[in-house]
Structure 1
Amino acid sequence: MKRNEALALLKKYNESDSLLKHAYSVEAVMKYFAKINEEDVEYWGNIGLLHDLDYEKYPEMHCVKTREILEKEQADEPFIRAIESHGYGICTEVKPESYMEKVLYTIDELTGLITATVLMRPDRNIHNLEVKSVLKKFKTAKFAAGVNREVVLQGCEMIDMELNEVIGHTIEGMKTVAEDLGFAGQ
């Protein structure tokens, strides 16, 4: 699947600006991790782009409906499985096994925390966001309370990276789409 096809599919099932921006964030971070690990950037990016494909229309069947939709689109099994695995322990029992799956599991919630952090900044500029600022917000449970920090920490263990390193890579990935996210500063 090409990126334009993945984007059209995403927009067929999602209209919410916040869900679309979240998809762009996760796509960008997946591409960033793929690049630094010399993996298929477009493939990883499309998984990030479509990871919440079913969430707006079928929130009670999150990850389950995605399988049905992607099977109809003739997506390959590793692609579908990777998306299912990001809901491990929350809405699926599909445990992340490949490195790609573990990265998706780790960074999905983290992009939400970084988004909330940038939105609280007067300049809304991700380009000058520091890891220490995100770490401080991470440790404040009431800030972006919907972000499952335990998932992020479990993911860091899975990919054998320190939290601050994962945060740094996630920020760098999100910087690549700062304009699309409205995070290029005012």
Structure 2
Amino acid sequence: MRTSALDRSQALALLKTYNEEPFHILHSLTVEGVMRWYAQDQGFADEAEYWGQVGLLHDIDFERWPDEHCRKAPELLKAGGAGDDMIYSVCSHAYGLCSDAEPVHQMEKILFAVDELTGLIGAAALMRPSKSVMDMEVSSLKKKFKDKKFAAGCSRDVIREGAERLGWTLDELFQRTIEAMRSCEAGVNAEMAGA
């Protein structure tokens, strides 16, 4: 079983040591919540804390060192008390882009798949009258996915590769990740409001 050497407050403090932009904090909190949901969904409930913290810390170095993404992270994570397993898992989300750490564990494959996708879903939610994922359907997300000009920074190729690594259709990945984002939206919003 994978467990974290950190508690959640330590992980959040570590993230905020190197990240101040609300956009980056929001993304990290969202991926944390999504990963916790997936831990339950995939039968790894006893690892939910670990999955969540990997999600929370996956972009720890991106705000300050975007050109050294996943190369600076190991140093920051180790100094913050993270173990080698967590460091590998964090770096695996950028496999083939700026990391050689291949996603192997189910958690790492999910993180790889949902990192870009949560950004796309978040951008699509902001276009809705509700500004929420609570009323989002897969069909409307698919239209945004096909529109390459919409949220152009979210790599469709990475999302497709992520679904393939999991052996899921895009529709399955979209549906599950929307549900995962629904599960944490209120909590993330409350935490951002209190930040």
SS of residue in 2 equivalent to 1:55: coil
Residue aligning to 2:17: 12
| Separation (CA, whole Å) in 2 of partners of 1:169 and 1:43 | 20
CA drift at 1:7: 0.6
Amino acid at match of 2:101: V
CA contact (8 A) 2:14 2:80 kept: no
Residue aligning to 1:161: 168
CA drift at 1:177: 2.4
Query: Which of 37, 44, 69 is 2:42 aligned to?
Result: 37
Amino acid at match of 2:182: K
Residue aligning to 1:137: 144
Alignment of 1:72 with 2:66, yes or no, is no
| Separation (CA, whole Å) in 2 of partners of 1:73 and 1:123 | 38
| Separation (CA, whole Å) in 2 of partners of 1:9 and 1:31 | 19
Cα deviation, 1:117-138, whole Å, max 9, x if unaligned, reads 0011122121111111111111
- Stretch of structure 1 that moved more, 170-179 or 142-151: 170-179
| Separation (CA, whole Å) in 2 of partners of 1:96 and 1:122 | 36
| Separation (CA, whole Å) in 2 of partners of 1:132 and 1:43 | 32
Residue aligning to 2:69: 62
CA drift at 1:25: 1.1
- Stretch of structure 1 that moved more, 43-52 or 130-139: 130-139
Given the two structures, how large is their TM-score scaled by the length of structure 1? 0.94
Given the two structures, how large is their TM-score scaled by the length of structure 2? 0.90
Amino acid at match of 1:95: E
| Separation (CA, whole Å) in 2 of partners of 1:9 and 1:182 | 20
Tell me, which stretches of 5 or more residues in structure 2 are unaligned?
1-5, 191-195
| Separation (CA, whole Å) in 1 of partners of 2:76 and 2:130 | 39
Residue aligning to 2:88: 81
Alignment of 1:110 with 2:117, yes or no, is yes
| Separation (CA, whole Å) in 2 of partners of 1:12 and 1:178 | 24
Residue aligning to 1:119: 126
SS of residue in 2 equivalent to 1:176: helix
| Separation (CA, whole Å) in 2 of partners of 1:174 and 1:10 | 20
| Separation (CA, whole Å) in 2 of partners of 1:154 and 1:143 | 19
CA contact (8 A) 2:109 2:162 kept: yes
CA contact (8 A) 1:21 1:180 kept: no
Residue aligning to 1:170: 177
Query: Which of 146, 152, 168 is 2:159 aligned to?
Result: 152
| Separation (CA, whole Å) in 1 of partners of 2:132 and 2:77 | 35
Cα deviation, 1:126-173, whole Å, max 9, x if unaligned, reads 111111111111111111111101001101010111111111111111
CA contact (8 A) 1:32 1:169 kept: no
Tell me, which stretches of 5 or more residues in structure 1 are unaligned?
none
CA drift at 1:71: 1.4
